[in-house]
Structure 1
């Protein structure tokens, strides 16, 4: 019958006193050394006791009982059975009547010193051992359960039973370790490709991952994109409300601009040039909130780029690539900001350059309803008349503000947010296609410690997978 591999550790016998030449601590040193081995839960204890001595005084049994009180891994072994005094035997001990253990006692007959001196080999010694137990009347009924060979089989069977009972736990531990190793390998990223095409593909894949995370922020999958809406819904309207048109349209300022627009000849019917100057001077102040909205969205997009870079695990692997991607993304956002600012300010300038005629066509009708449709040329600059002009201009400016409050966000989204989603790294990709393998390699400058760590993890993972396969095959075979 084949047996599994066992590691046998022959520990020294416990001593009571230190003899000449030994240190005073020899007793404690030996006991501590023995305990260091037999306290391990995976250790099978062979408590060896000579048959020609009283088991009650056996140090091996005493210390075994201390570390293994339930006797789940302790096996009693009786030696020197053949050296017992005539008229005595070890049957009571072997059958557990003298001292019972959880597992049956096993008797062995080893080679004597004379046998060792005569170079009697182990095969012959095992044969003589079998003959002793089978031919001795007292032990004949126990012969099949005695001897070193039987001891080896018992140990092997016990070890197999222990291993089998612990297979589920081992499987769980190995599976968890494999998951942990795979997870860490995933965090470390793939190993760097060696050829230029492979390196370019790796860089592109990392950039696409970053770009996808950035879009998720804008689309609401990840937090941050809602801040852009806050600019349009709160910041821009609040900034427009803070514009002090009433100061711009104060009585003194209206009189000043109207008279300056009339020049040397006062207006005859309506101060059209005065209206235009008042409206333009008021509307031009909207450029400030419009530019602020563009800059605020730019700052948010820039912040989302930084967040996306920090959330892209692959970019942590390559510091140079992280710097390049960050620089390329911010540069693109700055180009988009400049285009957005140009387009948004053009919206304000459009309102300044062409007035909505229908609004002013209604003004004479409104005046007639007031019962004072005409004014003398000489009283065109009185307070009531100028107050009416200021009120008309303020109404028109408020109308334009309401319109721009809707059109400015559209311009900003079209020029910045939409373009950032569509072409954030387009210029970077164009430049990548022009780089050679060596230049691409500088972007993939992974830390050597990470490379070594990945190699070590891969080897460990291979070993654990092999162990998993072996243990699974044993589990299924049983």
Structure 2
């Protein structure tokens, strides 16, 4: 047997290695090739047995016998101390002994004879290591040790395989009970399994429940935003709707019918996106039902029952879809049926508030402009010295007026300023409505803005009042108004007609409108006739120029203003063009429509969840249970027809489980027996570890034998090194390693020739 074949068998972990060495080579056991090869494949000697053969041929060699006895006592070299050794004699000798005994059981007789022969030769060796009976015990011990190492792993692997098979059996389930109650109970149990899977899919992350939220947050709002609002709120379309809604009688103030018709037509378009949202959620729920049915192990065993469950659930979902469509359409119709006025009232309020803020900003800017104008006037005109406000009698006022007339006869009376001379300033007497007296005030006329402003003094930086001349008319004062102002004066004046013709008044073109503050008319009085004429000329020119710029639309516009509420300044900001006014109204309606669409984007998903998702979690499952329970036992048995493949697989796994159970039980018994036998063997070896008839001088003999083998021959009867090496490597001497004791070859029962001297 060559080395390659030996390696092929020895490399297996469960192979037992036999190191067979002739007794003559026992002193030089450390250098044998068989021991080296055994150590190469089994360094820890857990599956190696040493066999010392041909003890009878070395019976006269005391050193060889001493080395053999040392190996049997595990007192040999370090390489051999962990290997169990057994001593044998030649097979021919044992057979001859058996034949001489004449026993029928030749093998037993031969082994007994061999044991007796070895006892006589190796009197100091343990008897448990002598003969082929000891070899069988050693082999059995190694087999038990390997079983102790391998059986736990085998048992663990078998248990794992058994668990896998049990899981498969659980997945396929037990066989159906052949009774009406058992069939109905199985059907309801399958419904409960489907319910668990459905709820897990719709509420957990492994299903398609997230697609419902994706529809609410993605497609549905996107469709609402894609509604053609621009086309519906185009001014031509708005005009057409308003014209059709009013019929033969046009609207008086606002096109309410037309705007309501516009709201209804636009909101009608929101029904289709709402229905599509319901359809999307319905498809998601149907897919979840199919996925949950496919993920239910029990339903996979009964395809007819699975189809029935899916059909019942799908029919319930169809009903929920129809109810949800009715609900979302009702939400849209609710918005179409009633248009609350609060939205438009708030819009008007916000618009008026915005206009008020704009007016404040304009007032601040105009106030700054007036301050700048007054500063220009102050720089352009020097202060009038010697002129004071008249708080006394009319006579003193006339004296001062006459004095001013005398001083100003040579040039212009009023002062002008500005880049183009558009600012005119001078003193006028203003009649007080409370005291019915006259007060001297500083008036400034701005011809560009058509406004007349006054202050208490020329040095004041702020004006006390402003009159818009575009909305006023200039008139001469009557004699009654002139006389009423003279009655309060001293009777000793120069006469009632001394100041006649110096008074004029400013009134509003609209009878009930005010000119300034709460005054319906402002009565002014010049200090001289020339001054009055100059004021009248300038004021009349400003009034006529502002009236000409407004044109013919002034009368109609004034009529519209007279029929509305609010200040004149606010009403003039409203568009005079009816088309512009209609455009402004349509924009407000569009704002309301967009607010309603945003509300629908938030409320339609709520209705869908209530009518579809929540009912699928409750009502659909209740309908499933009630529908299955109401069916007859024959119908349920027909639905619970098990699939042939499933039935075949279950029977296959049941057989495998039975075989694995038997094999595991038998291996467990062998494992227990091996453990018990190993314990008994250890106790026996411990009791017989010391020789019963040991020679006191044997310890020195084996040491000298191994030393002689290491240092060379000590006498003429020893083997040479080269000859021992050749003899050790020879296949005829049985120096081979194999998996069993039969691997060694038998050799002739003869002594080797003596080495040359």
What TM-score, normalized by structure 1, do the two folds share? 0.75
Name the structure 2 match of 1:40.
12
Q: Secondary structure at the match of 1:106?
A: strand
Please say if residues 328 and 425 of structure 1, whose CA atoms lie closer than 8 Å, have aligned partners that are also in contact.
Answer: no
More helix by share: 1
Among 111, 116, 129, the alignment partner of 2:114 is 129
Q: Give unpaired runs (5+ residues) of structure 1.
A: 1-13, 15-26
State how many pairs are aligned.
443
1:75 pairs with 33, 41, 49, which one?
Answer: 49
1:416 to 612, 622, 631: 612
Instruction: Summarize the Cα distance change of 1:432–1:49 in structure 2 as closer, same or farther, 3 Å threshold.
Output: farther
Distance 1:400 1:205, change over 3 A: same
2:327 corresponds, among 328, 336, 343, to 343
Tell me if structure 2 keeps the 8 A contact 1:231–1:297: yes
Q: Tell me which structure has the larger Cα radius of gyration.
A: 2
The alignment partner of 1:140 has SS state of: coil
Structure 1 stretch 249-258 or stretch 366-375: which is displaced more? 366-375
Partner of residue 651, structure 2: 452
SS in 2 for 1:355: coil
Alignment of 1:47-62 (within 5 A): 47=19
Q: What per-residue deviation string (whole Å, max 9, x for no partner) do you get for residues 188-234 of structure 1? A: 33233232443443443343333323323333454543332232233
**Structure 2 CA distance for partners of 1:472 and 1:159, relative to 1, 3 Å:** closer
> Aligned-pair distance for 1:103?
2.1
**Is 1:231–1:293's contact at 8 Å kept on the other side of the alignment?**
yes
**Equivalent residues of 1:259, 1:274 under 8 A apart:** yes
Aligned-residue offset at 1:395: 3.0
Residue 209 of structure 1 aligns to a residue whose secondary structure is helix
Q: How far apart, in 1, do the equivalents of 2:674 and 2:23 lie?
A: 40
- Mapped to 2, the partners of 1:373 and 1:337 lie a distance apart of 57
For 2:330 and 2:145, how far apart are their aligned partners in 1?
Answer: 85
Q: Which residue of 2 aligns with 1:263?
A: 247
In structure 2, the partner of 1:194 is 177
- Structure 1 SS opposite 2:104: coil
Is 1:227 equivalent to 2:199 in the alignment?
no
Structure 1 segment 309-348 matched on structure 2, within 5 A = 309-348=293-332
CA shift at 1:275, angstroms? 3.0
Q: Secondary structure of the residue that 1:236 maps to in structure 2? A: helix
Query: Which structure's residues are more often strand, by fraction?
Result: 2
- What SS is found at the alignment partner of 1:75? strand
Alignment of 1:292 onto 2:491: no
Relative to structure 1, the CA distance from residue 307 to residue 355 in structure 2 (aligned partners, 3 Å threshold; closer, same or farther) is: same
Indicate if the aligned counterparts of 1:185 and 1:457 stay in contact, CA closer than 8 A.
Answer: no
- Normalised by the size of structure 2, how large is the TM-score? 0.50
Give yes or no for the alignment of 1:112 onto 2:95.
yes
Q: Are residues 45 and 200 of structure 1, via their aligned partners in 2, closer, same or farther at CA, if it must alter by over 3 Å? A: farther
- State how 1:21-36 maps to structure 2 within 5 Å: 32=5
Within a 5 Å distance, the mapping from 1:197-216 to structure 2 comes to 197-216=181-200
Conserved? CA contact 2:235–2:583, under 8 Å? yes
**SS of the residue 2:591 aligns to:** helix
Relative to structure 1, the CA distance from residue 331 to residue 126 in structure 2 (aligned partners, 3 Å threshold; closer, same or farther) is same
**Structure with the greater relative contact order (CA < 8 A, sep ≥ 6): 1 or 2?**
2
Gaps of 5+ in 2: 356-559, 565-574, 680-757
Taking structure 1 as reference, are residues 216 and 120 closer, same or farther at Cα in structure 2, changes over 3 Å only? closer
Secondary structure in structure 1 of the residue aligned to 2:50: strand
Q: Deviations over 1:242-285 (max 9, x none)?
A: 21223112222222222222223334455443233211111100
Whole-angstrom distance in 1 between the partners of 2:299 and 2:200: 17
Change (3 A) 1:471 1:440: farther
